[in-house]
Amino acid sequence: MDIATHVFSALYQFGDAFAFLVLSACGLAVIFGMMGVINLAHGEFIMCGAYVTAATVHAGLPLPLGILAGTLVSALVGVVVELAVIRHLYDRPLDTIVATWGLSLIATQGTLIMVGSTMAGVGTPFGSFQVGDYSYSIYRIVLFCAALGVLAALYALFNWTRFGVLARATIQVPHMAAALGVDTRLIYSLTFACGAGLAGLAGGLYAPTMTLVPTMGATFIMEAFVTVVIGGADVFLGTAPAGGVLAVVKSAMTSWQGQLFGQIGLLVAVIIVVRVLPKGISGFVLRERT
């Protein structure tokens, strides 16, 4: 073992943690950053994406198309949820938490009843490669690239498209945007669908790497929440750097003491950061500008 393999191993673990944090958090962050709504059913959207991906792959579709299907179905479910529940609660953010929690209970238990306690998984594609004494999964590298790709796509979406401009206008001053003819309700619906779709994408991407059980959402949400709390309301200035910082904490703690301590490290980090920077990293960065 020389230094290069050590460095590669550390980088690989960092990339893995970063991808997991960013992918599981970005859907939540988009919804929270745009609408101030915390979606506690986030984990269940991830579960939905993973289940649909697995189902379509079992039906014979190739994995990328399956992931696409998972994303789209989650986004559609997101639209339905927004129309039926979230829309009526925009002026009561605490109640949105409670209502989405209720939805998450319904989704978890409903899936358990309809699909059963577990679903046949999808094999991890691409195999592995060897560096030094350890073998690494290629798919984890793909996931890291996917996380970067999602960040880039979101940046493009919110900065270079008409929808992005309208959405940012709606966040800044909703009634002004409405007065200028923006259909803010439609924007909110689309934003929620976008967040739900991102959750579905995360589920689809991670479907080949984990066991599919109705409570699988719970494995994502803690990391997602922690990243959003530390990042604050902005996806690019918050979620991405928060993912980076937390990935360092998590991968270091994990390789030192095991997975559980990685998570405890995350929790301690969030409590300390919240005490020092109550508005998260993006609040700290943007403090001069507001």
Partner 1 sequence: MRGFLSLFRHLEGPQTAGRGPAFWSLFSLVLVAACAYPLFSDGYTVGNTVYFFVWVFIALSLCLIWGYGGSLSFGQTAFFGIAGYGYGVLTINFGSAYGFTLVALVLAIAIAALFALLLGYFMFFGRIAGVFLGIVTLAVTLMLERFMAQTAGPEWHIGSARLNGFNGMSAMPPLTIPWPGEPLVLFADIGLYYVVLGLLVLVYLGLRILMNSAFGNVIVAIRENPERAEMLGYDIRKYQLITFVIGAALAGLSGVLYTVWGQYITPSSMGMTAAALPLIWVAVGGRSDLTSTLIGTLAVLAAFQALTIYGSQYALVFMGVLLVLTVLIAPNGLVLGTMNWLGRFAARFTQRAG
Nearer to partner 1 among residue 57 and residue 273 (C-beta): 273
Nearer to partner 1 among residue 228 and residue 240 (C-beta): 228
* Full DSSP string of the chain: --HHHHHHHHHHHHHHHHHHHHHHHHHHHHHHHHH----TTHHHHHHHHHHHHHHHHHTT--HHHHHHHHHHHHHHHHHHHHHHTGGGGTT-HHHHHHHHHHHHHHHHHHHHHHH-S-B---PPPS-EEEETTEEEEHHHHHHHHHHHHHHHHHHHHHHHSHHHHHHHHHHH-HHHHHHTT--HHHHHHHHHHHHHHHHHHHHHHHGGGS-B-TTTHHHHHHHHHHHHHHH-S-IIIIIHHHHHHHHHHHHHHHHHH-HHHHHHHHHHHHHHHHHH-TTHHHHHHHTTT-
Q: Which one of residues 124, 189, 255, 263 is an interface residue with partner 1 (CB under 8 A)?
A: 263
Site string for partner 1, 128-167 (x = CB under 8 A): ----------------------------------------
Nearer to partner 1 among residue 56 and residue 219 (C-beta): 219
Rounded to the nearest whole angstrom, what is the least distance from the CB of residue 265 to partner 1 in the complex?
11
Structural contact between residues 265 and 250, judged by C-beta atoms closer than 8 angstroms:
yes
Nearer to partner 1 among residue 124 and residue 215 (C-beta): 215
Q: Is 83 in the site for partner 1 (CB under 8 A)?
A: no
* Segment interacting with partner 1 (CB under 8 A) among 151-159, 189-197, 200-208, 222-230: 222-230
Q: Which one of residues 17, 19, 21, 38 is an interface residue with partner 1 (CB under 8 A)?
A: 38
Q: Which one of residues 4, 11, 65, 98 is an interface residue with partner 1 (CB under 8 A)?
A: 98
Q: Which one of residues 24, 56, 71, 104 is an interface residue with partner 1 (CB under 8 A)?
A: 104
Q: Which one of residues 79, 97, 148, 182 is an interface residue with partner 1 (CB under 8 A)?
A: 97
Q: 18-37: which residues touch partner 1 (CB under 8 A)?
A: 32, 36
d(CA 237, CA 228): 11
Q: Which one of residues 60, 275, 289, 290 is an interface residue with partner 1 (CB under 8 A)?
A: 275
The residue ranges that bind partner 1 (CB under 8 A) are 32, 36, 38, 85, 88-89, 92-95, 97-99, 101-106, 108-110, 112-113, 215, 218, 221-222, 225-226, 228-229, 260, 263-264, 267, 270-272, 274-276, 278
